[in-house]
Structure 1
Amino acid sequence: MAETKIAAEARTEFGKGAARRIRREDKVPVVLYGHGTDPIHLTLPGHQFMLALKGSANALLTIDLGSDTHLAIPKQVQRDPLKGFIEHADLLIVRKGEKVTVDVRISTVGEAVSGNLVVLENATISIEAEATHIPEAFEVSVEGLEAGAQILAKDIELPSGSTLAVDEELLVVNVTAAPTAEQLEAELAEAEDELGIEHDPSDAEEAEAEAAAESSDDEAATESE
């Protein structure tokens, strides 16, 4: 994993008002901590920081403080829920050769057998890896899989030196038969009943009801004769 060097500035203002001013300047308030050091409060250039994390949620960063540098990885990143920009971040100081526990993204490739659904039960898995060799993502092939096939955490090929930090039986991918139109309609009707939702009858339903009513009238007339 390549390192991204970012020039940081010391942060002396705190609180919500100060954070808003920092963001208006296209900067991100950051706390850098780890290895027994006191937390270091910084600001990072917003656009550069966003690009660094766009490539990998576990990006390896070299934080340049002028007289000092720190190797770090993102530990917690807060984003605006609507616009997506980074509001705040906690960075963990790491050392080369040191192992850290991180969540790595899972993506599927290939196509399962037609008529089946591929369900990604866990979008990430936790692994322990060297801080300088954290994989960006794991690709899991579902090519040709049929309903009932499952991929567990233990089935994912990890890079050398990495180990699982979750139960090896954790379900990652589940292949199931796609529901039929009748099953979907039944589930929708059941959900509507539970919620008390009523809807106007369709043209077909109205025609069916009218036909049933006419048939009933004809039977009644026949009996009266």
Structure 2
Amino acid sequence: MAEVKLAAQIRTEFGKGAARRTRRANQVPAVVYGHGAEPVHITLPGHALMMALKTANVLIGLDIDGKSTLVIPKAVQRNALKGDIEHVDLLTVKRGEKVTVEIAVHAEGELAPGGNLLEYVQNTLHVEAEATHIPESVTVSVEGLDGGASVHAKDIELPEGVVLVGDEDAVILQVVAAQAEEPAAEGAEEAEEVVEA
């Protein structure tokens, strides 16, 4: 995964008023924590951060007062109406260090004929991966799956160096059989016959 570089500034003002002023200046308040160090309060350029966060589990190289720190996003707070980023928690990582993250699951392929529907029971997987090699997502083939079939966490092939964390028997995807509509149609015809009689 490519590293995105962002310049950060140390934040000295706190509270709602300070946060509003920061956002008006197109900056986003953030906190960097991890490795037992004291949390560092910073601001980040709003547009550059928004672009970086379009990539899931993006690796960010922060420049804080001339010191370079590698981080990954841990929690992103967005405005409920506008969707703007309001605050970000960032976790310090080191090259070679293993981290636990969520990665997106994507399905590809055609289900068996018959109008079956694919349902995502979970759309992410918890995995452990090296901090600088976190996959953005995994892809699962649902080619030819019929109604009643399901894909479990343990069935999903993960990239090399990535390990599943959590319940391996958890259902991730399931195929819901098409609902038969014929009985309802027959009932309607019978009702019409009764009315005619």
The alignment's TM-score, normalised by the length of structure 2, stands at 0.90
Equivalent residue number for residue 200 of structure 1: none
Aligned partner of 1:32: which letter?
A: V
Q: Would you say 1:34 and 2:34 are equivalent positions?
A: yes
Equivalent residues in 2 for 1:103-118, closer than 5 Å: 103-114=102-113, 115-118=115-118
Distance 2:104 2:24 in 1: 31
SS in 2 for 1:175: strand
Q: Superposition RMSD on alpha carbons, in Å?
A: 2.1
**Counterparts of 1:154 and 1:11 in 2: how far apart (Å)?**
44
Could you say which structure has the greater relative contact order, defined with CA pairs below 8 angstroms and 6 or more residues apart? 2
Cα gap change, 1:183 to 1:102, in 2 (>3 Å): farther
**What secondary structure, in the 3-state scheme, does the structure 1 residue paired with 2:23 have?**
helix
Is residue 149 of structure 2 the alignment partner of residue 159 of structure 1?
Answer: no
Post-superposition offset of 1:69: 1.1
Determine whether 1:55 maps to 2:55.
yes
Could you tell me which runs of 5 or more consecutive residues in structure 1 were left unpaired when the two chains were aligned. Answer: 186-207, 216-225
Offset of 1:27 from its aligned partner? 1.0
Distance 1:51 1:7, change over 3 A: same
Residue aligned with 2:99, SS: strand
Amino acid in the other structure paired with 1:55: T
**Between 35-44 and 106-115, the greater mean CA deviation after superposition:** 106-115
2:132 maps to which residue? 132
Shift of 1:67: 2.0
Shift of 1:180: 3.7
Q: Percent identity?
A: 54
Say which SS state the counterpart of residue 8 (structure 1) adopts: strand
AA matched with 2:27: K
| Shift in Å, 1:108 | 1.1
Give 1:64 shift. Answer: 0.7
Question: Equivalents in 2 of 1:166, 1:182: separation in Å?
Answer: 42
Deviation track 1:64-108 (CA, whole Å, cap 9, x = no partner) reads 113211100001111112211111010000000000000111111
| Cross-structure match for 2:91 | 92
My pick for the range that moved more, 153-162 or 24-33, is 153-162
- What runs of 5+ residues in structure 2 fail to find an aligned partner? 186-191
SS at match of 1:158: coil
Shift of 1:182: 6.9
Would you tell me which structure has more helix in proportion to its own residues?
Answer: 1
Q: Does 1:121 align with 2:111?
A: no
Which entry has the higher C-alpha Rg, 1 or 2?
1
